Amino acid sequence: MPSTAGRNTFITNSSLEQLLFVGLMAVLLWAPLPFASNRIWGGHLLALLVGTLACMWLLLFLLSRVRINSQVWKTIRVPLGILLVVQLWVFLQVQYLPRSVVELLSPQAYAWHLKSGWLSLSLDREHGIYYLIRGCTLTAGFFLTAALVNTHRRVQLLLQVLVFSGTFQAAYGAFMVLSGLELGFFVEKYVGKSVATGTFVNRNHLAGYLVMCLSAGIGLLLSQITHHSSCSWKERARRWFQLLLSSKIRLRIYLAVMVVGLVLTRSRMGNIAFFAALGVAGAIALYTGRRYSVRVIVFLLSLLVVDMLVLGKWFGLDKLVQRLQQTQPAMEPRVWSNEFSLDYLADFPLTGSGGGSFYGIFPNYQAPNLQGFHQHAHNDYLEFAVELGIPATTLLTAFVGLAFWAAIQLQRRRRTPLYRGVGFAVCMAIVWAAIHSTADFNLQIPANALTFVILLALAFNCRALPGLHDDRQGRRPLHAFGNT
């Protein structure tokens, strides 16, 4: 029989790890609230919160109070290594180097520098350092998800937290529009009036966040779909009454609220990306996960028919359709401004101009008839490429590609319904990002970037976690100090 001291140590260690997990969930809820953490103070606060959790985990690890399972480590070490290499490159960008080295690596950056002495590859060191802090925050968030979301129950809780956060943002944004109050994060909105923005500034970024939360919610609901056939009408009626009283109905309502919020954003690409991502992820799920029944098809169709046509009609779907019909891509500044970003890229193809430097460099390529101040490129691919260089951008693309492959494998090989639902959620989120990033900069927004990275981390986690059946059999969990 284990000693009392041993039992106390077990309880203490489990509680400490659980406390860190709760902290991570709190950060996930907080990130979108202060203007999506897209302010200097908000970004630094988010970095402080995530960094504190990471330091606490490291301290406990050094004290042998927590650990990461070897199987989980094997699944995340390559993607984590990619993220670390990219952060190392951004660190190198802001370092002062001999003039000859800068001239060799980036002749254009060398030509643009005016001061004497050693130079940096980044043309904006101050924002480059802030960019590095944000990148390290995302990397730490990815690792903390792998280290702490290490049981079936915690995976479920993380998805539920995203559903709760998305529902709040959608309901808050819809209430502001329908009531006419038009408040953002404790202040009156100065942009985006008459459309839903939640506590975000830009409606497109709220739309992106809602699609990620919808992905989590749809994956969670898919994992709860049963495949039992009823033999009689009495049995079917009993199951329908059970369904009406179950948590599935509440979750379905939350999804409907988020769809209403998505429609009220009037975001063209956000809604298009949602439709496309749902269709592609559904097709992948049906092809790879042959255990899914016709109920899955009915459920996915209900999202399109019931939510978008019925609820959307009540909350302004016709206005969104009208806006889409009036769209002329050739006349959209966000589309034809990419031509100038390509000229920008031609001068900094390998090293980039430095993380966070787009806003200061792009005016030098901006045509006179392209009016306005462009803080970001309306294309995530181009912004990563011009700031970090093509090699670093290729690494980030490979990171997302690995997560996409892991999500597909979850649906092909895992029998645990929740992990298969995670696979669906990650596939849908990645397809959304691939489409929406062609016309916006969601991944430059700290809250959206952190949420996206955490979802990708789940794909790697769930490949190594034991199934629910294993947990119920009492087998040793992947972490050393208990369950949540």
pLDDT tens, N- to C-terminus, the chain (484 residues): 444 444 444 445 678 899 999 999 999 999 999 999 999 999 999 999 999 999 999 999 999 899 887 898 999 999 999 999 999 999 999 999 999 999 999 999 999 998 889 999 999 999 999 999 999 999 999 999 999 999 999 999 999 999 999 999 999 999 999 888 888 888 888 888 889 999 999 999 999 999 999 999 999 998 887 655 555 666 655 565 555 556 788 898 899 899 989 989 988 889 899 989 999 999 998 888 655 556 677 777 777 776 666 566 666 666 656 665 665 565 566 665 778 889 999 999 999 999 999 999 999 998 777 767 788 998 999 999 999 999 999 999 999 999 999 999 999 888 889 999 999 999 999 999 999 999 999 999 999 999 999 999 999 999 988 875 544 433 333 333 333 3
Q: Is residue 345 part of a domain?
A: yes
3-class DSSP string for 294-312: HHHHHHHHHHHHHHHHHHH
The answer to whether residues 248 and 220 touch, using CB atoms and an 8 Å cutoff, is no
Burial class (CB in 10 A: 0-12, 13-18, 19+), 240: exposed
Which one-letter DSSP state was computed for residue 478?
S
440: left (phi over 0), alpha (psi -120 to 50) or beta: beta
> Which amino acid type is present at position 345?
L
For residue 283, give the amino acid letter: A
Specify if 482 maps to a domain.
no
Q: How far is CA 55 from its chain centroid?
A: 23
Residue 91 lies in a domain: yes
| 182, two tokens | 């038009």
Q: Is the residue at 397 inside a domain? A: yes
Say which residues have a Cβ less than 8 Å from residue 231's Cβ, sequence separation at least 6.
none
* DSSP calls for 129-167: HHHHHHHHHHHHHHHHHHHH--SHHHHHHHHHHHHHHHH
Q: How many distinct structural domains can be found in the chain?
A: 1
- Measure the CA angle with vertex 108, ends 102 and 112; round to 5°: 90
Question: Alpha-carbon dihedral of residues 129, 209, 426, 274, nearest 10 degrees?
Answer: -130
Residue reference for tokens 């180097």? 97
- Name which of 17, 28, 215 is nearest 137 in CA terms: 28
**Alpha-carbon distance 350 to 387, whole Å?**
10
In a domain, 239, yes or no: no
- Cβ-count burial 72-89 (b if 16+ within 10 Å, e if not): beebbeebbebbbebbeb
Q: Would 1 be classed as within a structural domain?
A: no
Provide the domain limits for residue 456: 14-226+246-469
* DSSP code of residue 97: E
Residue 236 lies in a domain: no
* pLDDT score at 200: 96
Residues linked to residue 120 through DSSP beta bridges, in sequence order? 96
9: in domain: no
The DSSP letter of residue 188 is: B
